[in-house]
Structure 1
């Protein structure tokens, strides 16, 4: 047994050494670099009224980078721009592209439709076809008033192997599409104009895992924005809204994770959770004090909401859960909010029950795809799909192997899916 273990260890070491010598886009041990860990999608606001809208444009701590960027397309890696990240690089002759978009639908390269066949020879993790490259550059200025905050760069989704540079220095790398890639820019930023440069390879080792029956398109395909956080901030939260055994009263549980950045001076304070009905009436509230000197990071909440309004497909009632971070005196420092619906899902006697009522799942398959925008989604596109599904008496959506746009899930909650 010991001999077999030793041989296995040597084989793993040899494999690791082999991968270490490979190109990064063909190295499955390097699927990301310097990325922030995943957390819930949210924005911070200055007051409860703005937070309840969940409209990022009303947050002073979100700055969109969507728009027209400089762009260079190359049909192969060999022909791509190698020093694309230089701040003194001339952009003369560069073309322009909308961000977000898929470059194949903007006149660069060709969209490809496949089902079970790979575009390249099945020899993972290697890519044996010409690998198109899209290179992006844009200049931005950090909003005033962000000096004492931590600044994150958020990509909603990049389809391809992407290296990210700011002011000539590499910030990080990501290969996972259809999910956020966030990078901490605080130490890379300077006063005045800053350069963001991103280079995306169409194919990489992760393309083997992302092979699906849909159009293969590339590029920065979801929103890009800067997000500023205080040195002590709400960072993640998990909310669960269920029903008691009689399906009458709401059973609410939640956890809130705090994150402290270097330079934080607020060591004590409190986090308050409130549930508001559609009329803005408070139906439940609870506060938890914290002391950062004791290294508390996760705060737990629980309680009961009497005679709660249930969520179901026919009447998708939602409450606003407002989360407030306050100092020791109770003065709010930042606010965010999330919609929650109280429901209970069970299987009894081989039947699926929602709130104690048997239901049939009438679902439909949905890809994030549009005939003119490709994989780029807008609220209008999502609403058109959901309205059609409702007209056809659907009550469930299959989201096709990957996380959909965060707004789509919120609309599903709102309209009963």
Structure 2
């Protein structure tokens, strides 16, 4: 039997382009002559060559395959369909709540949870209501609910929209627990149509509106809008202007709304879609609840402010003295008048005695963020453990066109793995 390899197989000129486009597997077949008859061979062995699909003709040293008329019709039809598809306009982009590439917009970067105070003693109390830089927006908000996203109010952010007929809902809360929609408990079964990243038509929407005023003492400061958590895809507007979007539940979402504010009454409008592309990542064993479910507030920051910090309390190798380190990140907003100042860190024990203090100067050039590092030793501190959770107050003082205070509680401990055992402060 004489085998003719793929490189020796030639298609007739009339069908070569279409054949390569729609019948590429023909080029993977071997042709063989056996007992005066031609057969086609593939990985499954020799197969008789029939006239139903191919007409075989021999020539000197090669094999010519012609496609029969019925196959030609199918090829031409597929070719025309392919050419027509090129003329069809591109698919419209996904809805924002069904676009996995668009998971947030205009959100501030995450940072440590803290509040600025004007009194050093208030940092230890950590009562935000005592800060002149904080204002809660919790309470009753205007609210309207629909079962399908197509029925939502699309111009909900308009300042002249009449919302007198809307119901009210307490914020924070989940709207399913206030008579709107149904709480859903499920584990591995999706509570919505399964076609990622799409959700479908049955996507409930809750729309919120709230009016508020900004304290006069905040003039010249940056104003940040903070949501403790929104379950769902939320679009946020202030005074008719879009200020941001977020899809991340169970974590804060912050937006700088300074340029959108005005004197007197301001309007905050939020529209929340219960399901979105990120809902496919939440296929867990828990209750599906929606809405603005944690505290909402606005807070003010000076043009240069503490923005973030990382505090670490460790112990030396003898578990005797405390090793303290800190990274304090300052943020300079636009139009700041004074670009230099001082940062001081103090560590206080339960009696209010200072056990550590360190001061460093800073100066901004063109950067908007600057991190200042601190480190030092605290002699023989009370150690932090589950049995004795001793904590200290770490106070961060910023001096720049005034003085502000921030901070958090810290403890000194060392956690290690020794001989496959967990050790805390040297004890297994």
Q: Which residue of 1 aligns with 2:167?
A: 95
Q: Closer, same or farther in 2 for the Cα pair 1:325/1:316, shift >3 Å?
A: same
Judge which range, 113-122 or 246-255, deviates more.
Answer: 113-122
Query: What is the CA–CA distance in structure 2 between the aligned matches of 1:326 and 1:203, rounded to whole Å?
Result: 46
- What is the aligned partner in structure 2 of residue 349 from structure 1? 419
Distance 1:314 1:96, change over 3 A: same
The 2-side partners of 1:181 and 1:155 are apart by 5
Kindly indicate whether the alpha-carbon contact (under 8 Å) linking 1:120 and 1:129 is maintained by their aligned counterparts in 2.
no
Q: Equivalents in 2 of 1:26, 1:73: separation in Å?
A: 20
- Residue 127 of structure 2 is matched in structure 1 by 55
Residue in structure 2 matched with residue 160 of structure 1 by the alignment = 232
- Equivalent residue for 2:8? none
Are the equivalent residues in 1 in contact too, given 2:150–2:201 (CA < 8 A)? no
> Retained in 2: the 8 A contact 1:255–1:300?
yes
**Post-superposition CA distance 1:226-285 (Å, at most 9, x none):** 010000001000011011111111000000111011111121111000100011000000
Q: Please list the CA deviations of residues 328-370 of structure 1 after superposition, one character each: whole Å capped at 9, or x if unmatched.
A: xxx8511012000111110000001111111xxxxxxxxxxxx
In structure 2, C-alpha distance between the alignment counterparts of 1:200 and 1:267, rounded to whole Å: 40
Answer whether contact 1:322 1:337 (CA < 8 A) is retained. Answer: yes
Q: Structure 1 regions of 5+ residues with no counterpart? A: 1-16, 359-417
Distance in 2 (alpha carbons) for counterparts of 1:19 and 1:30: 17
Equivalent position of 1:208 in the other structure: 280
Q: CA deviation at 1:78?
A: 1.1
**1:19-77 CA distance string (max 9 Å, x none):** 97111111010000000011111100001111111110110000000000000000111
Matched, 1:132 2:204: yes
Q: What is the aligned partner in structure 2 of residue 194 from structure 1?
A: 266
1:325 and 2:398 are equivalent in the alignment: yes
Deviations 1:77-111 (CA, angstroms, capped at 9, x unpaired): 11111111011111121000000000000000000
**Maintained 8 Å contact 1:272/1:325:** yes
Q: Deviations over 1:379-409 (max 9, x none)?
A: xxxxxxxxxxxxxxxxxxxxxxxxxxxxxxx
1:334-345 alignment runs, 5 A limit: 334-345=404-415
Using the alignment, how far apart are the partners of 2:90 and 2:251 within structure 1? 29
CA contact (8 A) 2:134 2:297 kept: yes
Contact 2:142 2:163 in 1 (8 A): yes
Once residues 411 and 90 of structure 2 are traced to their aligned partners in structure 1, the CA distance between those partners, rounded to angstroms, is: 50
SS in 2 for 1:110: coil
Q: TM-score, with normalisation over the residues of structure 2? A: 0.77
Query: Structure 1 residues 245, 143: closer, same or farther in 2, change over 3 A?
Result: same
The structure whose residues are more often strand, as a share, is 2
The alignment yields a C-alpha RMSD, in angstroms, of 1.5
- The 1-side partners of 2:271 and 2:90 are apart by 25
Deviates more, 1:264-273 or 1:295-304: 295-304
Deviating beyond 4 angstroms after TM superposition, the runs of 4 or more aligned structure 1 residues are 17-20
Report how far residue 121 of structure 1 moved.
3.5
- Which TM-score applies when normalising by structure 1? 0.79
DSSP 3-state at the match of 2:154? coil
Residue ranges of structure 2 left out of the alignment (5+ in a row): 1-88
1:22 equivalent in structure 2: 94
Cα shift at 1:299: 0.3
Q: How many residue pairs were aligned?
A: 339
- Whole-angstrom CA distance in 2 between matches of 1:87 and 1:207: 31
- Higher radius of gyration, 1 or 2: 2
- Are the counterparts in 2 of residues 19 and 27 from structure 1 also a CA contact under 8 Å? no
Is residue 256 from structure 1 mapped to residue 297 from structure 2 by the alignment? no
1:90-138 Cα shifts (integer Å, max 9, x gaps): 1121000000000000000000000111112432111135000000000
Between 1 and 2, higher relative CO (CA 8 Å, sep ≥ 6) is seen in 1
State the partner residue of 2:150: 78
Q: Return the alpha-carbon distance in structure 2 between the equivalents of residues 20 and 355 of structure 1.
A: 60
Aligned position for 2:302? 230
Please tell me whether residue 107 in structure 1 is matched to residue 179 in structure 2: yes
